[in-house]
């Protein structure tokens, strides 16, 4: 009898163990979030998407190196001579180890964010039913648009010069989904085709973006649908689309894409007026898309602060600044943006655009302009069919910025170039502009006005990082 | 009425008695001790009073009884009181009792007396002594009274004592290795007996796998058993150190970086490495480390190291598939099963052990320049000469510096910096006290140990304290054991930092207390003089301390249904808490370039672990007609291990003597609190089946199914199986006639134990919240790791063939094994293209095959039991190779980056030992994990002083090119093993074990980094090896070992770094690993007099000599130490 009981309990134990085994072994990590768990509700997708915005706003990405350093140093906006840690970069010495590290970080951070976005895109369609309202379209549309944005910036930096016969040469790999193995390199034009497909789809998904109905403040019924300027909204998508068309020299479509922004209600993206500059030196009002970084002060302290060692400060030559901004009414040369240090430590103007503005709520200068309406006017000016219309768009911007208007010019490209220089200090567009127009010579940031650097493929096309080239074979 | 049998009556009882007696005679006048009287038919009462009067004794009797008795006739002359009473009461039914101190005599009836003595005789106390055939006392023999729970164990001198035993009882004397003896008591109070050794007693050795036990004779696996005694004979430091000397398969890796740092845990392997490039997260273990089992439960290496060696009963090393497969997915690296002593029955046994160990820093391998040599070498390399000789400003400033240094040398400054951080000798103490006792039903043991272990670098310590309480309750068929242990340690890292900094310090500087030894700015950038004073750095407040508490409770119970079936249940729960605190003064050089708010550091991290493990198993064993034998052990196991860790850092400290976290001004820039948690669970089923036929042919099979939370989600179970066969030739009839073979067994096994020592959650994609940042939308998340749900678990197919033999009347014993272990596929973490979003990827690819053999032979040369004279010699050897296969070109990238690790562009790390070691590694098919890769060197050309290389095609060239790298040697010795001699004569014992390593290739760090491949900065700022000055090529025709002295003129670019085979040298070594001398006072009478059961003293020396054909620096960050220990062991 005793034996029977024992055997029975053993058998019962076995069955019980087998049944509860799977549950027992299903251990959820506490300090990490399991993908399946996160994506079982819409907030998981939203948090993951916000993670990418936060990544992008970091010092490693658009809160610093990818926005304020690399494209601007390459675009000769700063005086980086002598012992500057950026000197090799500004000389296009791409074999220098420290410069290589900058580009390798650019590459891996951008692709890292792309992989994070793809995690959303790979899973969102399976989980469509967990979303409420229009949120599925917003999350998917923004994720897709951001993925396009990041791919496109990689393409602008590492890809071929599109405005040349090289547009069909190999560029960079395109990740339409997260793949543990490297995806093949695409030809420049195939890459652009893919990206344009993506951005068109993103625009469709964002057709009901609250920004269209409520303006930049968004639909304040939920946090997620508010503050549309801090997200990749419909207008930003259209601007990006225009940027990409112009890159492919498709002026007609560029001009068409930009119309939505230019015709947006006036209150949406007004230009900053004089009085608003002290509290808003980044001129955020016409921004279509900004990133928020509460620690932006750290970036400022690493790049522009006068407390830095002399040659570590990113600042232009005084003569470059004076020749560029010959009209003091231009809000872009406002003393809240450019000034002599109040402590008298320097005799040339330094860049205060990103310096902290301390209020009772802390630093309120925490916004990083990523895309702005000003660029749309410049795109329209380049894309317009005839000179008068072109000047009309350009003058519209100039007037808004308080600069003298141009009645006529023989060097329209030169004017556009100057306008890019004025508009995008610290916003990482200069090098991309030069590369897009395949400029033969550009002003040397370390030398007197008029001294130019002869450009070319070797300088415009940044080599792929070693780690990618060595593992990801065959190379372009 | 009856009197109480007690000799001494209490006053109370006496009063009562007084009231009962009718006559009382008290005489105070006479003090005569003798009685003289003549009586004829005198009534007894008168006799008593007469004697009472003469002697002054008071008499007590029962009037009613005495009055009815016959009167007596008696003549006494000077008789003693005793005699007098005896004569008087001779024919009476009376007896008496004399109470001398009370001067009383009690008269009782004889009937009452008889009853009392009968009662006493029913239970007697038996004492005796148990000896062996050689009449030597046997300790630890269990003596039980048959059929009762009573029993005792013999003490050190073989004696025992059992009280209250029925005179008709039967005593059973039993001890492992001896024939059990039953003995009728027959009323004897002393029983001495001699136990006979069991015939073929070696076959009774039990193999404990931690899950089941089996006689060695019927075990098909390869397992080695060492008794605690054997371990303690070899050394007194820890189990790991002793096993290394005893077992040829057990290899302790040299850690050239950490030397003899007491806080660095050893690396070891049993049969080769099964994993190569594992990914190890914070909580994961070394993927090549064997599994440790203490008292049936998994344990950490820290606990094994902290275990009191005096408590170890035996250690079993399980090596092949047949023995390790019972541990399934954890067993591939081998299993070390440690059983601690169980409490012994008997009176309380108290044993005390005192150990002390002297450690001596071993700096003999360093060969650094003195002040004069150093300056001379600097002069020869022209570091004080500018390239542009006409630049007088520079010329003068450099000359000035040279003269300043020269002045120091001439004034006799020659600082031996290496001596500063070193304690030439340190004394480690260990105190251990154990008490145990009880009877066969209930036994207990309680003990504790405290030990201090100061390292040879000042300030480095490891103090361990532990306590244990073991209780056993065995009422018949049921048994219950509870064992609790508490271990704590405090580990301090030396504030002196890396020893290499002290080796590098330049001898011509005076040891001052200033921040810099030399400070100045020369007129040209790039030649700033900034020499940090290591002594100044040292005196700054800093700490690196780890405190650990580990509490474990094991419960086990079994029920024995009958001789064949029993059910076991065991559970263990462990709690551990480890705190790691670091603080660093804001004045340390690391903070020189930081702003004030970021100077100084305080770091605190705490790990808390809770783990449990439980087993439920049954064992069935039966033998039919002495022919068929069957054993079955089915069981379940569940285990869970969770660790959580949190920590924070604080910075911005004032420059004061003491740092407390409260003084911090804030957190490091972008600093956030750390938190991590990991939970691993597993549930397993196992079945061990065994069948033996006539004790000749045996089959063993194990099947285990493991489920673990760390397997991939689509592969959450893994199956392990094994099959073992063995053949006992000595039991065959045709072998029975061969007298000189006592035991001969052939065995073979095949199986696939796995390896679970990988990080958790490899199979899931996990995300974490962005650290320390938010925006208007709140938190964000990012992928933390990309999971691979198809990752298959790493399995090793192990094949072993072996033979065990004992010959010539057990005098020679041989154990030999050949093995071939294939791990396929491996799990490898390799670099991935960064565009995929992750820089690493875990892959199932490639295989590694470990092939080898090991042989251990021991022989008893002399065995004279009478004189207690034994001489035994032993030798072991091992040869092993590991090869990779199936890798293809997947690791090319890793190989490429290894090749480029040290180059002249990256001056920061090319003298880093770890970087160089990695630079020498390549992973390719047919390669060995310990292969070293470099460009072949043809030596130094006597004509030019330049090095001649051999390129891939065998052509001579002067140009160094990493393309020409080939495999130039293997750091794993071609052959290694030990030779040992053990001698015992009466109380004296001598035991020595020496280790040889034959033909291994070693990278010589000193030659590479301190003789050649120098830089200008290094020549100016660091001390160098003497050979740089004396043995380098100087003039044409010099047959020098080293290239010409380079020209480091200011402004001239330096030579490139070359990793050639010249720096990789063949080494063969012979080392004295352990020497022990002991004396046992068993024969000395005095120990009894001072109340001891036994006393022994021992002395040990570890690493007492080291002969090698290679002079290379050993112990880069921490020097090696030799040790010498003394031990006193006493039992009460």
Please work out, in degrees rounded to the nearest 5, the angle formed at the alpha carbon of residue A410 by the alpha carbons of A405 and A411. 80
pLDDT at B1079 over 70: yes
Per CB-CB distance under 8 Å, the chain A contacts of B768 are 31-33
Instruction: Please tell me what DSSP assigns to residue A67.
Output: I
Sign (positive or negative) of CA dihedral A52, A57, A61, A67: positive
Look at B777 and A107 and tell me if their CB atoms are within 8 Å.
Answer: no
Q: Which of A14, A50, A119 is the closest to B779 by Cβ? A: A50
d(CA A405, CA B148): 116
Greatest CA separation for chain B: 146
d(CA B241, CA B1120): 15
Per CB-CB distance under 8 Å, the chain A contacts of B775 are 50, 53-54, 57, 230, 291-294
Task: Note whether B1053 and B1015 are within 8 A (CB).
Answer: no
Reported as a pLDDT band with limits 50, 70 and 90, residue A393 is very high
Per CB-CB distance under 8 Å, the chain A contacts of B894 are none
* pLDDT of the residue at B3: 40
pLDDT at B865 over 80: no
Span of A40-54, B418-432, B907-921 with lowest mean pLDDT = B907-921
pLDDT at A16 over 80: no
The per-residue pLDDT for range B348-398, each reduced to its tens digit, is: 888 888 888 888 888 877 888 888 888 888 888 888 877 777 777 777 777
The per-residue pLDDT for range B289-325, each reduced to its tens digit, is: 788 888 888 888 888 888 888 888 888 888 887 788 7
Task: Note whether B424 and B358 are within 8 A (CB).
Answer: no
Task: Give the list of residues 6+ apart from residue B1111 with CB closer than 8 angstroms, or none.
Answer: B365, B367, B1006
* pLDDT of the residue at B758: 55
* pLDDT of the residue at B900: 67
What is the secondary structure of B620-633 as a DSSP string?
EEEEETTTEEEEEE
* pLDDT of the residue at A245: 95
d(CA B601, CA B147): 69
Sign (positive or negative) of CA dihedral A263, A267, A272, A275: positive
d(CA B945, CA B1031): 12
Segment A74-102 shows an average pLDDT of 90
Span of B59-63, B972-976, B1117-1121 with lowest mean pLDDT = B59-63
The per-residue pLDDT for range A66-81, each reduced to its tens digit, is: 999 999 999 999 998 8
The per-residue pLDDT for range B317-351, each reduced to its tens digit, is: 888 877 887 887 777 788 888 988 888 777 788 88
pLDDT at B271 over 70: no
Instruction: Please tell me what DSSP assigns to residue A305.
Output: -
Look at B761 and A29 and tell me if their CB atoms are within 8 Å.
Answer: yes
Query: Looking at chain A, which residue has its C-alpha nearest residue B760?
Result: A29
Alpha helix segments (H runs only) across B325-433: 371-380, 392-410
Per CB-CB distance under 8 Å, the chain A contacts of B831 are 467, 471
Instruction: Please tell me what DSSP assigns to residue B418.
Output: G
Query: Looking at chain A, which residue has its C-alpha nearest residue B782?
Result: A51
Task: Give the list of residues 6+ apart from residue B733 with CB closer than 8 angstroms, or none.
Answer: none
Q: Which of B775, B784, B833 is the closest to A472 by Cβ? A: B833
Segment B176-183 shows an average pLDDT of 74
pLDDT at B283 over 50: no
d(CA B318, CA B303): 19
Reported as a pLDDT band with limits 50, 70 and 90, residue B715 is low
**% of chain B surpassing 90 pLDDT:** 6
- CA B168 to chain CA mean position, Å: 48
Segment B666-682 shows an average pLDDT of 80
Q: Which of B708, B709, B775 is the closest to A53 by Cβ? A: B775
Span of A285-289, B51-55, B610-614 with lowest mean pLDDT = B51-55
CA distance, residue A287 to nearest chain B CA (Å): 17
Please work out, in degrees rounded to the nearest 5, the angle formed at the alpha carbon of residue A456 by the alpha carbons of A450 and A459. 90
Query: Looking at chain B, which residue has its C-alpha nearest residue A475?
Result: B833
Task: Note whether B1001 and B932 are within 8 A (CB).
Answer: yes
pLDDT at B7 over 80: no
Look at B766 and A25 and tell me if their CB atoms are within 8 Å.
Answer: no
pLDDT at B910 over 80: no
CA distance, residue A148 to nearest chain B CA (Å): 15
* pLDDT of the residue at B571: 92
Query: Looking at chain A, which residue has its C-alpha nearest residue B773?
Result: A54
* pLDDT of the residue at B756: 57
Per CB-CB distance under 8 Å, the chain B contacts of A295 are 670, 773
pLDDT at A142 over 90: yes
Look at B765 and A33 and tell me if their CB atoms are within 8 Å.
Answer: no
Segment B57-62 shows an average pLDDT of 78
* pLDDT of the residue at A167: 83
Task: Note whether B833 and B334 are within 8 A (CB).
Answer: no
Query: Looking at chain B, which residue has its C-alpha nearest residue A185?
Result: B835
What are residue B536's DSSP bridge partners? none
- CA B752 to chain CA mean position, Å: 28
Label residue B210 exposed, middle or buried (CB < 10 Å: 0-12, 13-18, 19+). Answer: buried
The Cβ of residue A344 has, within 10 Å, a number of other Cβ atoms equal to 8
d(CA B374, CA B1028): 10
Reported as a pLDDT band with limits 50, 70 and 90, residue B840 is confident
Segment A21-27 shows an average pLDDT of 72
Look at B781 and A33 and tell me if their CB atoms are within 8 Å.
Answer: yes
Task: Note whether B305 and B265 are within 8 A (CB).
Answer: yes
* pLDDT of the residue at B525: 44
Task: Note whether A345 and A306 are within 8 A (CB).
Answer: yes
pLDDT at B1051 over 70: no
Task: Note whether B819 and B855 are within 8 A (CB).
Answer: no
ipTM of the complex: 0.89
* pLDDT of the residue at B8: 37
Instruction: Please tell me what DSSP assigns to residue B198.
Output: P
Query: Looking at chain B, which residue has its C-alpha nearest residue A21?
Result: B683
d(CA B1062, CA B1005): 11
The per-residue pLDDT for range B1114-1130, each reduced to its tens digit, is: 777 788 888 888 888 88
* pLDDT of the residue at A114: 96
Q: Collapsing DSSP states into helix, strand and coil, what is residue A36? A: helix
Between B790 and B955, where is the model more confident? B955
Is the pTM for the entire model greater than 0.90?
no
Label residue B736 exposed, middle or buried (CB < 10 Å: 0-12, 13-18, 19+). Answer: exposed
Q: Which of B716, B774, B839 is the closest to A25 by Cβ? A: B716
Q: Which of B778, B780, B834 is the closest to A465 by Cβ? A: B834
Q: Which of A30, A293, A471 is the closest to B833 by Cβ? A: A471
Between B605 and B44, where is the model more confident? B605
Task: Note whether A119 and A178 are within 8 A (CB).
Answer: yes
Task: Note whether B331 and B754 are within 8 A (CB).
Answer: yes
Between B55 and A231, where is the model more confident? A231
The per-residue pLDDT for range A43-68, each reduced to its tens digit, is: 999 999 999 999 999 999 999 999 99
**C-alpha gyration radius of chain A:** 25
Label residue B651 exposed, middle or buried (CB < 10 Å: 0-12, 13-18, 19+). Answer: buried
**C-alpha gyration radius of chain B:** 39
d(CA B784, CA B763): 12
d(CA B302, CA B1056): 44
B355 token code pair: 């150990």
| A interface test, pick of B605, B789, B837 with most A CB neighbours within 10 Å | B837
Per CB-CB distance under 8 Å, the chain B contacts of A21 are 683, 707
Specify the residue for token string 């890809």. Answer: A159
Span of A367-381, B26-40, B363-377, B438-452 with lowest mean pLDDT = B26-40
Q: Which of B765, B775, B906 is the closest to A57 by Cβ? A: B775
Strand-pair category, B542-560 with B741-751: unpaired
Alpha helix segments (H runs only) across B584-635: none
Segment B247-271 shows an average pLDDT of 75
Span of B439-448, B906-915, B1044-1053 with lowest mean pLDDT = B906-915
Q: Which of A7-21, B145-159, B875-889 reaches the highest mean pLDDT?
A: B875-889
């Amino acid at each position: 009898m005793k034996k029977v009981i024992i055997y029975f309990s053993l058998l019962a134990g076995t069955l019980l163990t087998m049944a509860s085994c799977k549950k027992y072994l299903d251990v959820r990590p506490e300090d990490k979030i399991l993908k399946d768990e996160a994506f079982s509700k819409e907030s998981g997708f939203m948090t993951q998407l916000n993670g990418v915005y936060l990544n992008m706003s970091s010092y490693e990405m658009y809160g610093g190196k990818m926005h304020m350093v690399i494209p601007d140093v390459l675009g000769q906006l700063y005086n980086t001579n002598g012992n500057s840690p950026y000197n090799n970069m500004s000389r296009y010495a791409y074999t220098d180890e420290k410069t290589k590290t900058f580009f390798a970080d650019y590459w891996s951070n951008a692709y890292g964010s792309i992989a994070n976005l793809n995690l959303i895109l790979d899973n969102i369609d399976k989980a469509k039913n967990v979303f409420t309202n229009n949120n599925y379209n917003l999350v998917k549309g923004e994720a897709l648009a951001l993925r396009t944005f990041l791919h496109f910036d990689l393409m602008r930096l590492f890809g071929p010069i599109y405005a040349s016969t090289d547009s069909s040469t190999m560029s960079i790999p395109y990740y339409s989904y997260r793949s543990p193995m490297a995806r093949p390199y695409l030809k420049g034009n195939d890459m652009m085709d893919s990206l344009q497909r993506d951005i068109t789809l993103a625009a469709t998904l964002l057709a009901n973006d609250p920004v269209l109905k409520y303006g930049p403040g968004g639909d304040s019924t939920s946090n997620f649908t508010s503050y549309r300027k801090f997200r990749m909204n419909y207008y930003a998508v259209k601007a990006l689309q225009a940027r990409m068309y112009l890159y492919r020299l498709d002026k007609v479509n560029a001009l068409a894409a930009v119309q939505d922004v230019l015709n947006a209600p006036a209150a949406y993206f007004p230009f900053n007026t004089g009085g608003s500059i002290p509290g808003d030196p980044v001129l955020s009002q016409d921004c279509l898309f900004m990133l928020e970084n509460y620690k932006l002060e750290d970036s400022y302290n690493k790049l522009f602060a006068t407390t830095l060692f002399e040659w570590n400060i990113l600042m232009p030559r005084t003569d470059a600044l004076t020749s560029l901004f010959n009209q003091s009414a231009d809000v872009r040369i406002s003393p809240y943006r450019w000034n002599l240090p109040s402590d008298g430590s320097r005799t040339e103007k330094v860049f205060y655009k990103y310096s902290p503005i301390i209020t009772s709520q802390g630093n309120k200068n925490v916004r990083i302009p990523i895309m702005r309406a000003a660029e749309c006017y410049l795109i329209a000016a380049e894309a317009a069919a005839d000179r008068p219309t072109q000047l009309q768009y350009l003058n519209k911007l100039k007037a808004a910025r308080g600069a003298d208007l141009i009645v006529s010019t023989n060097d329209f490209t030169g004017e556009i170039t100057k306008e890019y220089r004025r508009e995008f200090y610290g916003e990482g567009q200069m090098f991309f502009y030069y590369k897009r127009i395949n400029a033969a010579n550009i002003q040397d940031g370390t030398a007197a006005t008029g001294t130019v650097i002869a450009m070319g493929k070797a300088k415009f096309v940044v080599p792929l990082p070693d780690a990618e080239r060595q593992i990801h074979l065959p190379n372009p | 009425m009856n009197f109480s049998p007690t000799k001494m009556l209490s006053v109370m009882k006496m009063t009562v008695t007084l009231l009962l007696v009718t006559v009382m005679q008290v005489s105070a006048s006479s003090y005569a001790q003798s009685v003289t009287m003549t009586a004829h038919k005198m009534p007894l009462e008168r006799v008593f009073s007469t004697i009472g009067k003469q002697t002054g004794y008071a008499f007590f009797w029962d009037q009613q009884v005495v009055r009815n008795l016959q009167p007596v006739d008696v003549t006494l002359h000077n008789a003693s009181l005793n005699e007098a009473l005896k004569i008087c009461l001779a024919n009476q039914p009376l007896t008496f009792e004399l109470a001398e101190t009370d001067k009383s005599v009690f008269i009782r009836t004889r009937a009452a007396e008889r009853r009392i003595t009968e009662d006493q005789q029913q239970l007697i106390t038996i004492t005796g002594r148990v000896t062996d055939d050689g009449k030597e006392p046997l300790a630890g023999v269990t003596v039980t009274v048959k059929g009762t729970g009573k029993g005792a164990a013999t003490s050190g001198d073989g004696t025992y004592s059992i009280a209250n035993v029925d005179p008709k009882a039967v005593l059973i004397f039993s001890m492992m290795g001896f024939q059990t003896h039953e003995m009728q008591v027959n009323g004897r109070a002393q029983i001495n007996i001699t136990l006979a050794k069991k015939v073929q007693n070696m076959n009774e050795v039990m193999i404990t796998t931690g899950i089941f036990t089996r006689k060695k004779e019927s075990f098909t696996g390869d397992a080695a058993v060492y008794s605690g005694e054997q371990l303690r004979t070899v050394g007194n430091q820890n189990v790991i150190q002793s096993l290394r000397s005893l077992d040829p398969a057990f290899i302790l890796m040299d850690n050239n970086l950490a030397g003899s740092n007491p806080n660095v845990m050893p690396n070891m392997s049993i049969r080769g490495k099964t994993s190569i490039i594992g990914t190890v997260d914070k909580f994961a273990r070394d993927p090549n480390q064997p599994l440790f089992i203490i008292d049936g439960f998994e344990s950490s290496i820290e606990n094994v190291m902290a275990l009191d060696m005096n408590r170890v009963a035996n250690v079993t090393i399980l090596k092949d598939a047949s023995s390790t497969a019972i541990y399934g997915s954890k067993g591939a690296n081998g299993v070390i099963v440690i059983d601690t002593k169980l409490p012994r029955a008997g009176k309380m046994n108290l044993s005390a052990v005192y150990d002390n160990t002297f450690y001596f820093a071993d700096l003999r391998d360093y060969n650094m320049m003195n002040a004069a040599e150093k300056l001379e070498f600097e002069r020869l390399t022209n570091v004080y000469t500018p390239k542009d000789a006409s630049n007088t400003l520079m010329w003068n400033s450099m000359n000035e510096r040279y003269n300043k240094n020269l002045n120091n040398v001439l004034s006799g400054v020659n600082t031996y910096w290496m001596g500063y951080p070193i304690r030439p000798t340190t004394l480690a103490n260990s105190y251990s006290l154990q008490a145990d006792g009880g009877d066969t039903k209930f036994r207990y043991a309680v003990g504790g140990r405290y030990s201090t272990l100061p390292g040879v670098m000042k300030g480095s310590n490891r103090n361990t304290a532990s306590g244990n309480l073991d209780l056993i309750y065995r009422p018949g068929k049921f048994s219950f054991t509870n064992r609790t242990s508490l271990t704590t340690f405090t580990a301090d890292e030396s504030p002196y930092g890396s020893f290499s900094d002290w080796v590098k310090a330049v001898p011509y500087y005076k040891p001052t207390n200033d921040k810099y030894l030399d400070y100045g700015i020369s007129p040209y950038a790039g030649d700033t003089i900034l020499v940090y004073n290591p002594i100044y750095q040292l005196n700054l407040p800093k700490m690196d301390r780890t405190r650990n508490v580990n509490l474990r409770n094991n419960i086990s119970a079994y029920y024995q249904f009958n001789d064949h079936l029993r059910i076991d249940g065991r559970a263990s729960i462990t709690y551990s808490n480890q705190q790691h605190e670091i603080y660093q003064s804001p004045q340390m050089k690391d903070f020189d370039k930081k702003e004030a708010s970021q100077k100084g550091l305080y770091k605190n991290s705490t790990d808390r672990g809770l783990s449990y493990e439980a087993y439920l198993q049954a064992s069935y064993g039966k033998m039919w007609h002495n022919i068929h034998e069957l054993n079955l052990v089915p069981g379940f196991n569940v285990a869970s291990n969770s660790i959580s860790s949190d920590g924070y850092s604080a910075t911005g400290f004032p420059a004061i003597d003491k740092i407390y976290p409260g003084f911090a001004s804030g957190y490091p820039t972008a600093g956030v609190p750390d938190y991590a948690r990991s939970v691993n669970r597993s549930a397993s089923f196992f079945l061990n089946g065994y069948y033996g036929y006539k004790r000749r042919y045996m089959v063993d099979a194990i099947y285990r199914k493991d489920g673990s939370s760390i397997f991939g989600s689509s592969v959450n179970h893994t199956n392990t199986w094994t099959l073992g066969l063995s053949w006992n030739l000595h039991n065959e009839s045709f072998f029975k006639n061969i007298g000189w073979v006592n035991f001969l067994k052939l065995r073979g096994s095949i199986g696939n134990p796995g390896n679970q020592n990988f990080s958790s959650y490899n199979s899931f994609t996990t995300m974490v919240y962005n650290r320390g940042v938010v925006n208007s939308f709140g938190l964000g998340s990012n992928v933390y790791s990309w999971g691979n749900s198809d990752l298959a678990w790493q399995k090793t197919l192990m094949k072993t063939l072996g033979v065990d033999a004992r010959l010539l009347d057990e005098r020679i014993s041989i154990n030999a094994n050949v093995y071939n272990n294939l791990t396929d596929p491996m799990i490898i973490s390799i670099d991935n293209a960064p565009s995929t979003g992750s820089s690493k990827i875990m892959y199932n690819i490639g295989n590694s095959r470990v092939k080898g053999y090991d042989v251990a032979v021991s022989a008893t040369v002399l065995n004279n039991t009478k004189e207690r004279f034994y001489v035994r010699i032993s030798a072991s050897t091992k040869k092993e190779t590991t090869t990779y296969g199936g890798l293809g070109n997947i690791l090319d990238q890793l190989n490429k980056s290894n090749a480029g690790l040290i180059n002249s562009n990256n001056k920061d790390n090319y003298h880093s030992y770890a970087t160089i070691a990695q630079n020498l590694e390549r992973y390719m098919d047919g390669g060995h994990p310990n292969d070293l890769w470099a460009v072949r060197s043809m030596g130094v050309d006597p004509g030019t002083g330049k090095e001649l290389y051999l390129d891939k095609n065998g052509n001579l060239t002067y140009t160094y090119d990493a393309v020409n790298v080939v495999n130039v040697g293997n750091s794993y010795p071609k052959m290694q093993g030990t030779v040992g001699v053990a001698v015992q004569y009466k109380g004296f014992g001598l035991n020595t074990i020496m280790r040889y390593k034959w033909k291994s290739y070693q990278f010589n760090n000193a030659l590479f980094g301190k003789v050649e491949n120098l830089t200008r900065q290094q020549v100016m700022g660091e001390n160098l090896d003497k050979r740089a000055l004396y043995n380098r090529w100087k003039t044409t025709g010099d047959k020098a070992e080293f290239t010409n002295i380079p020209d480091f003129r200011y402004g001239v670019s330096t030579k490139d770094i070359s990793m050639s085979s010249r720096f990789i040298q063949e080494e063969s070594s012979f080392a004295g690993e352990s020497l022990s001398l002991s004396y046992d006072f068993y024969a000395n009478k005095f120990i009894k007099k001072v109340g001891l059961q036994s006393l022994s003293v021992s002395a040990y020396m570890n690493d007492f000599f080291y002969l090698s054909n290679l002079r290379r620096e050993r112990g880069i960050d921490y020097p090696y130490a030799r040790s010498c220990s003394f031990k006193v062991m006493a039992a009460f």
